[in-house]
Amino acid sequence: MADGNADQIEYWNGPSSQKWVQNQQRMDRTLGAFSRHVIEVADVSPGESVLDIGCGCGSTSLELGARVGASGRVVGVDVSRPMLEVAKSVATDMPVEFVEADASSHDLDRDAFDLLFSRFGVMFFADPDAAFAHIGGSLRSGGRVAFACWRPLSENPWMLVPVLVAKEFVQLPARPGPEEPGPFSFSNPERVSRILSSGGFTDIRIEPYDHEMVMGETVEEAIQTAMEVGPVGSVASEADAQTQQALNQAMAEKLSSFATPEGVRLGAAIWCVTATKP
């Protein structure tokens, strides 16, 4: 695995990875609309070969496997061993395999795939220009790229609202710079277009897609999502009991205002990015 991504590899094999594993079913429901949208846009067909970058616990790879069928192939790649253990446990009768690797440097088969897919997995490369140039070698001529990445934090209340509540009680970690690895490193479409162009891709399309995020069926579930996935939980868990109690109460009051009969719903905004390898 590439040394340049060592920090991310450590992060996704630590406590944060365990939180994703513990919340896997709820997060798959929460993020499912985005993966389905990008898969539809990618027009995945039976018999195709797909590389799923940052496959996590495997739900996107399984969706892709259902589309390509028995005559197709899906390879899910991730750096997180705990999440891949979950993925391998559920992909028992699908044309899906999982590899623990850093896609930006792993020795991928050349000209082997029809589609490079990712749901929120490509924003963490230390050197995305080099990563996409490398990964592009695994696509056949005419192969496609389709991935989801977050638009700016200001357009994503599902992440912004918990941060605004929490910062009144705890000191949150400094946000990465706009081009440093992190959830919003691809929020600038001009940067994304430049990275793909320098990687040799053409027909680049970067389209907005908005969908309400169901953070939980109840306020309590929504608080759990807010507190365990993202920057809030990493510091809230270290606060004293009184601070944690006050933070939970404030979070409950705020998230209650977004409660509906269909769950606690807040806005979410992504870029749906597609491109072609000539």
Going by C-alpha positions, the residue among 92, 97, 46, 102 that lies closest to residue 70 is 46
Place of tokens 């769950």: 263
Q: Residue 1's pLDDT is what?
A: 38
Whole-number pLDDT of residue 64: 97
**pLDDT at residue number 233:** 74
Would you state the pLDDT for residue 2? 44
The pLDDT tens digits along the chain (278 residues) read: 345 678 888 888 887 778 778 878 888 888 999 999 999 999 999 999 999 999 999 999 999 999 999 999 999 999 999 999 999 998 778 899 999 999 999 999 999 999 999 999 999 999 999 999 999 999 999 999 999 999 999 999 999 999 999 999 999 888 889 999 999 999 999 999 999 999 999 999 999 999 999 999 999 999 988 887 777 877 888 889 999 999 999 999 999 999 999 999 999 999 999 999 99
- Look up the pTM and report it: 0.93
In order of their start, the domains of the chain are 3-152+177-212+268-276 (3.40.50.150)
CA distance 141 to 147: 18
Q: What is the pLDDT of residue 44?
A: 97
- Amino acid 191 reads R
DSSP of 176-219, one letter per residue?
PPTTSSSTTTT--HHHHHHHHHHTT-EEEEEEEEEEEEEEESSH
Predicted confidence at residue 4, as pLDDT, reads: 62
